Structure 1
Amino acid sequence: MYNILVVDDEPLICKGLAGLLTSSGLGIGQIMTAYNGHEALDYVRMEDVDLIVTDIQMGEMNGIELMHQAKMIKPWVQAIIISAHETFQYAQMAIRLGAKDYLIKPLNGEQFLDSVRNTLLKMDKPVPRMDEWLSGDREHFQMEELHPENVERLKRLLADSSELAEPYEGDDSGDMRPLGVAGPYFSVLKLKLALPGGEAPSAYRERDVRLLQYAALNIVKELLHREWNALSFYTDELEIAIIIQWSEAEYAESGVNKINQLEMIGRTLHHHIHKYLGMGCIVGISQILKGPRFLRELGDQADKAILWSGEHRDYHVFYYGDFTWHNYAEDPSREELNTQTNRIVDGAKVYIEQNYRQKGLTIHEVAKKNHVSPNYLSYLFKKNTGHNLWEYVIQLRMEESKSLILNTDLRRYEIAERVGYESPEHFSKIFKKYFGVSPSELKK
């Protein structure tokens, strides 16, 4: 049974879509409705949501940003976008972020249910188990691999940018377009794989290791290569490198932070490789630089990001820019790491305490103020305080609202407004979930 969240700033549309889903006969458990992106994110954080059906134009947070932030929280969440505008740029961005469909209003009921049905069926799609790979059953996946000579050239390119050929017009760093390297903007991700059970490669037959490598690279290609301009290949026995590139026009697209997109990709890759192959996976993500001459530097950044996994063994996706490398002449000590971590967490707490009443406050905003990525901040906050960052926001909001209910004559909508909620109904839901009683019951 799947749980579906319907999001639209028009309550009648939410009600209509929820009614269609209720009477559809599909295997649906809970149907939730939200009237703006911030309310929807609360559901994603606090409930088991499998599929989001969202309008694209909703005031402060549009459907694209909602889908992106939801996937940052739970990479496995699927999305269907609904729009009153047949805008190519929106559709392209939605598909690139993994939307399963892009539907135009006014909706046809049958078309809508077909889209939901197809999305749920794909979520149920059987994936080969590890033992099927080891028995040589590859019929589920067939991927197009790069030519071995091109792979070798790409590996040399990450190791030594003097591999670059003659320059081409508009770029003095060399023409690598025959290899699929065009850019001009690049980032490098590296996946360090670990065999199931943490076994050394020597514990497996060489053929079995190759099959697991093949399976992991296939998952990478299945997830990335339809929506992203990406080159992926093995760099050594248990490592995959991914070069992601953007044209000038793609890089100029507004609306979604590119580093957040890369982190979403990293978390999605880790989730699928671990889920379907039982393999450990650490992802290192570089910054974004312009020009293929920086590919070696970007590869080094991805390697360096992975090194931090030794300090954070329960974390799996590392972005180079999260660490203040320039502050240290050499690798920092454990004490220096703890000092840096405490500073980040303390800064986040101060910012939240000053701004939790703000409507539309997001983890992304808190992270930006502390110069780290949202996922890394969430991880550090949970590790240091024992509860996640959004739970801390809700705790502050709920304690203040309780005080206002008990000590003032403010009405429910006024209290909701004061503690950062646009919808009094959503405020009441959160309040009852937190305290076990509704605001009116507490007042009595």
Structure 2
Amino acid sequence: MHNILIVDDEPLICKGISNMLAGAGLGIGQIYMAHNAYEALDYLRMEDVDLLITDIQMGAMSGLELMQQAKLIKPWVQTIVISAHETFHYAQTAIRLGAKDYLIKPLSGTQVMDSVRDVLLQAGKSDRPDAGFSPKVQEDYRMESPLEERMALLRELMAGKDGGREAREQLALQYGIELRGPYFAVITVQLRLPDELGERDRNLLRYAALNIGGELTGQGCAALGFYTGPASLGLLLQWDESQYASLGPNKINGLDMTGRSLHFTIKRMLKLDAIVGLSQILRGEGFVPELYDQAQKAARWHKELPDHEVFYYGDFKWSQSSHEPTEEELAAQNNMTVERAMQYIHDHYSQKGLSLHEVAQGTFVSPNYLSYLFKKNTGTNLWEYVTKLRMEESRRLLLETDLRRYEIAERVGYDSPEHFGKMFKKHYGISPSELKR
């Protein structure tokens, strides 16, 4: 069953699309409706959403900005954009952000149904009980295996032999592969393959994972995939100046999103667990061996944190003597990170539009790692903690002041009193007006 979030500042459009989809027989579970992007973000943070249907122009935060935030929260969420504008720039930006369709208002029922059906059918291919390693997977990936000579050269490049000069020259000469960058990063993936699998099946799954990695990372940058072992692979990413600029002000968010999306897609399509290591992004091809080493080092933290799967090198404070932090040092680092995050939240929870990524920036770790640490150390989801603070303060204001509901909503970070009322009732089981009485 798929859950859908519909976002439009015109309630009648939300209701119309919802009613149409509810009786469509498309295997839809929950349908959520939001009337601005801030409301939509709450649903994305707190509910399982598979498909986002969003308008573009919605006031303070546009649908395109919502798409960017949605990809950071849940990279695998599919999106359909609806708009009253046929502007090429809007459509181009929406497609670049991963929109599966761009529908122009006024909408026809057939148009919406066909678009939603296509997206859900495509997503449903990986939801079937037999969608893991099966004849279908074998059919999808029965292709010519990547040239071992090319992979060997990429491994030489990663190892930094002779500065990688000879490997780079051979890659350019034999395969037309040039490392232009100038920005580079490396991702490593260790597949958790079942012991009972034969060699052919193991190779096939490794190849399928390499294809998934190439498809995901090849959007917005050049990606080169190579095997690093019988159940492991690497991806060398490179961005030119314009591609690098398009990553936005916080480049690590995009890399973090890619790593989580890669892990999620391998698990969903191949039914395999995987450990993903992410390097930093550095300028200059001479850093490629160092980046590969960083990604490998990051992934090794799975031994210390076995309930986590995606590791970014920059999340760990490496000592000056280059040894990996001890268990005690790591625990101290993590406690300090969570305490810093809690302080940041207490200082900013009333801010409209506060996001996990802003809190992560304020605590100097990736959003993925902060989310993991916060839940591990406090037992609660980070956004649930934000909501709890907002609800406690709103309850105090309701009981101790004569402020109106819209004034209280604004003071605790909500864009609309209606949405504030929904969140309050969900948290306390009664509405603000019932509490006031």
Q: What amino acid maps onto 2:350 in structure 1?
A: R
The equivalent of 2:285 in structure 1 is 292
In the TM superposition, residue 152 of structure 1 has moved relative to its aligned partner by: 1.6
The equivalent of 1:361 in structure 2 is 354
The equivalent of 2:236 in structure 1 is 243
Deviations 1:86-121 (A, max 9, x none): 555654554444322233444444323221111011
> Following the alignment from structure 1 to structure 2, what is the Cα–Cα distance between the partners of residues 180 and 87?
36
| 1:7-86 → structure 2 map (5 Å cutoff) | 7-22=7-22, 24-86=24-86
1:388 aligns with 2:384: no
The equivalent of 2:200 in structure 1 is 207
The equivalent of 2:225 in structure 1 is 232
The equivalent of 2:122 in structure 1 is 122
Residues 221, 243 of structure 2: 8 Å contact kept = no
In the TM superposition, residue 155 of structure 1 has moved relative to its aligned partner by: 1.5
- 3-state SS, counterpart of residue 151 of structure 1: helix
Residues 180, 231 of structure 1: 8 Å contact kept = no
Residues 189, 234 of structure 2: 8 Å contact kept = yes
The equivalent of 2:99 in structure 1 is 99
> Following the alignment from structure 1 to structure 2, what is the Cα–Cα distance between the partners of residues 230 and 43?
33
Structure 1, 40-49 or 365-374: larger mean CA deviation: 40-49
The structure-2 alpha-carbon separation of the partners of 1:387 and 1:152, relative to structure 1 and needing over 3 Å to count, comes to: same
In the TM superposition, residue 404 of structure 1 has moved relative to its aligned partner by: 1.3
Structure 1, 97-106 or 418-427: larger mean CA deviation: 97-106
Deviations 1:377-399 (A, max 9, x none): 11111111110111111111111
| 1:27-426 → structure 2 map (5 Å cutoff) | 27-86=27-86, 91-126=91-126, 129-130=131-132, 132=134, 138-143=138-143, 145-160=145-160, 162-164=163-165, 178-179=176-177, 181-196=179-194, 199=195, 204-225=197-218, 228-253=221-246, 255=248, 257-326=250-319, 329-426=322-419
Residues 167, 175 of structure 1: 8 Å contact kept = yes
Q: What amino acid maps onto 1:231 in structure 2?
A: L
Residues 186, 235 of structure 2: 8 Å contact kept = yes
Q: What amino acid maps onto 2:299 in structure 1?
A: I
Deviations 1:188-231 (A, max 9, x none): 111011213xx4xxx54322322222232233344444665322
In the TM superposition, residue 256 of structure 1 has moved relative to its aligned partner by: 6.8
Structure 1, 155-164 or 34-43: larger mean CA deviation: 155-164
The equivalent of 1:171 in structure 2 is none
Residues 72, 375 of structure 1: 8 Å contact kept = no
The structure-2 alpha-carbon separation of the partners of 1:386 and 1:328, relative to structure 1 and needing over 3 Å to count, comes to: farther
- 3-state SS, counterpart of residue 252 of structure 2: helix
> Following the alignment from structure 2 to structure 1, what is the Cα–Cα distance between the partners of residues 106 and 335?
51
Q: What amino acid maps onto 1:216 in structure 2?
A: A
> Following the alignment from structure 2 to structure 1, what is the Cα–Cα distance between the partners of residues 165 and 283?
15
> Following the alignment from structure 1 to structure 2, what is the Cα–Cα distance between the partners of residues 439 and 261?
39
The structure-2 alpha-carbon separation of the partners of 1:206 and 1:432, relative to structure 1 and needing over 3 Å to count, comes to: same
Residues 95, 227 of structure 1: 8 Å contact kept = no
> Following the alignment from structure 2 to structure 1, what is the Cα–Cα distance between the partners of residues 84 and 216?
28
Residues 143, 221 of structure 1: 8 Å contact kept = no
Q: What amino acid maps onto 2:149 in structure 1?
A: E
Q: What amino acid maps onto 1:301 in structure 2?
A: Q
In the TM superposition, residue 345 of structure 1 has moved relative to its aligned partner by: 0.5
Deviations 1:111-166 (A, max 9, x none): 23221111011111256645526xx9721334565432222211111111623369
In the TM superposition, residue 29 of structure 1 has moved relative to its aligned partner by: 3.1
> Following the alignment from structure 2 to structure 1, what is the Cα–Cα distance between the partners of residues 87 and 382?
35
The structure-2 alpha-carbon separation of the partners of 1:382 and 1:343, relative to structure 1 and needing over 3 Å to count, comes to: same
> Following the alignment from structure 1 to structure 2, what is the Cα–Cα distance between the partners of residues 430 and 137?
43
> Following the alignment from structure 2 to structure 1, what is the Cα–Cα distance between the partners of residues 101 and 399?
47
- 3-state SS, counterpart of residue 261 of structure 2: helix
The structure-2 alpha-carbon separation of the partners of 1:401 and 1:369, relative to structure 1 and needing over 3 Å to count, comes to: same
Structure 1, 347-356 or 255-264: larger mean CA deviation: 255-264
Which blocks of at least 5 consecutive residues in structure 1 are unaligned?
Answer: 169-173
The structure-2 alpha-carbon separation of the partners of 1:255 and 1:224, relative to structure 1 and needing over 3 Å to count, comes to: closer
The structure-2 alpha-carbon separation of the partners of 1:86 and 1:147, relative to structure 1 and needing over 3 Å to count, comes to: farther
Deviations 1:418-439 (A, max 9, x none): 1110111111111111111111
> Following the alignment from structure 2 to structure 1, what is the Cα–Cα distance between the partners of residues 125 and 343?
45
Residues 212, 266 of structure 2: 8 Å contact kept = yes
Q: What amino acid maps onto 2:6 in structure 1?
A: V
- 3-state SS, counterpart of residue 138 of structure 1: helix
The structure-2 alpha-carbon separation of the partners of 1:311 and 1:96, relative to structure 1 and needing over 3 Å to count, comes to: farther
> Following the alignment from structure 1 to structure 2, what is the Cα–Cα distance between the partners of residues 254 and 73?
16
Question: TM-score, normalized by length of structure 2?
Answer: 0.89
The structure-2 alpha-carbon separation of the partners of 1:416 and 1:130, relative to structure 1 and needing over 3 Å to count, comes to: closer
Residues 181, 238 of structure 2: 8 Å contact kept = yes
- 3-state SS, counterpart of residue 176 of structure 2: helix
> Following the alignment from structure 2 to structure 1, what is the Cα–Cα distance between the partners of residues 9 and 220?
28
> Following the alignment from structure 1 to structure 2, what is the Cα–Cα distance between the partners of residues 91 and 180?
32
Q: What amino acid maps onto 1:157 in structure 2?
A: L
- 3-state SS, counterpart of residue 232 of structure 1: strand
> Following the alignment from structure 1 to structure 2, what is the Cα–Cα distance between the partners of residues 222 and 290?
23
> Following the alignment from structure 1 to structure 2, what is the Cα–Cα distance between the partners of residues 175 and 293?
16
> Following the alignment from structure 1 to structure 2, what is the Cα–Cα distance between the partners of residues 52 and 180?
38
In the TM superposition, residue 3 of structure 1 has moved relative to its aligned partner by: 2.0
Count of aligned pairs: 432
Q: What amino acid maps onto 2:63 in structure 1?
A: G
In the TM superposition, residue 178 of structure 1 has moved relative to its aligned partner by: 1.3
Residues 158, 289 of structure 2: 8 Å contact kept = yes
- 3-state SS, counterpart of residue 140 of structure 2: coil
- Percent identical pairs in the alignment equals 57
> Following the alignment from structure 2 to structure 1, what is the Cα–Cα distance between the partners of residues 301 and 31?
40
The structure-2 alpha-carbon separation of the partners of 1:139 and 1:69, relative to structure 1 and needing over 3 Å to count, comes to: same
Residues 273, 281 of structure 1: 8 Å contact kept = yes
> Following the alignment from structure 1 to structure 2, what is the Cα–Cα distance between the partners of residues 256 and 61?
17
Q: What amino acid maps onto 2:291 in structure 1?
A: L
Q: CA RMSD in A?
A: 2.8
